[in-house]
């Protein structure tokens, strides 16, 4: 069973960003499957690398929309993105150096890392961006 299943409550009502969130969910689910199947370090590092890169791409897409439309919560949101990038990059470094291994706890951390941000921060921009015609 997948670790994270998309729910309508995750929707930010902006198609492009929902699709990006779905892709991030997919990557975390692939990582979870790799862990369960006992895949090697190289395979896992590869998925973690994709997760780190796609996260940066996704955050940049949100920030570009904030700037374009003058979203008032952009500064606070930007700092949250920086913090999330640091958390996942540090996990990647610890994993690559062999200091950490993927465990159920690490996977639970990644699940919350993504879903808490969508629910607590991303959903706050929906009404503002929708009112600017971004859907
Ligand atoms: Fe997001
Ligand atoms: Fe965000």
* Structural contact between residues 62 and 122, judged by C-beta atoms closer than 8 angstroms: yes
131 CA → ligand 2 middle, Å = 18
What spacing in Å lies between the alpha carbon of 119 and ligand 2's midpoint? 10
How high is the pLDDT of residue 1?
85
pLDDT tens digits for range 17-66: 999 999 999 999 999 999 999 999 999 999 999 999 999 999 999 999 99
The per-residue pLDDT for range 109-128, each reduced to its tens digit, is 999 999 999 999 999 999 99
Burial status of residue 54 (CB atoms within 10 A of its CB: 0-12, 13-18, 19 or more): middle
The yes-or-no verdict on residue 129 having pLDDT over 90 is yes
Q: How far is 28 from 41, CA to CA, in rounded Å?
A: 16
Cα gap 3→84, rounded to integer Å:
19
For residue 77, how far is its CA from the centre of ligand 1 (angstroms)? 10
């Amino acid at each position: 069973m997948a670790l994270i299943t998309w729910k309508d409550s995750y929707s930010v009502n902006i198609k492009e960003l929902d699709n990006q969130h779905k892709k991030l969910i997919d990557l975390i689910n692939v990582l979870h499957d790799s862990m369960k199947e006992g895949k090697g370090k190289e395979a896992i590092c590869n998925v973690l690398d994709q997760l780190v890169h796609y996260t940066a791409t996704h955050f940049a897409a949100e920030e570009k929309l904030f700037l374009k439309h003058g979203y008032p919560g952009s500064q606070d949101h930007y700092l949250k993105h920086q913090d999330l990038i640091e958390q996942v990059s540090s996990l990647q470094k610890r994993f690559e150096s062999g200091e950490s291994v993927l465990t159920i706890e690490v996977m639970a951390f990644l699940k919350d890392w993504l879903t808490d941000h969508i629910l607590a921060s991303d959903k706050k921009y929906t009404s503002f961006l929708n009112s600017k015609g971004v859907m």
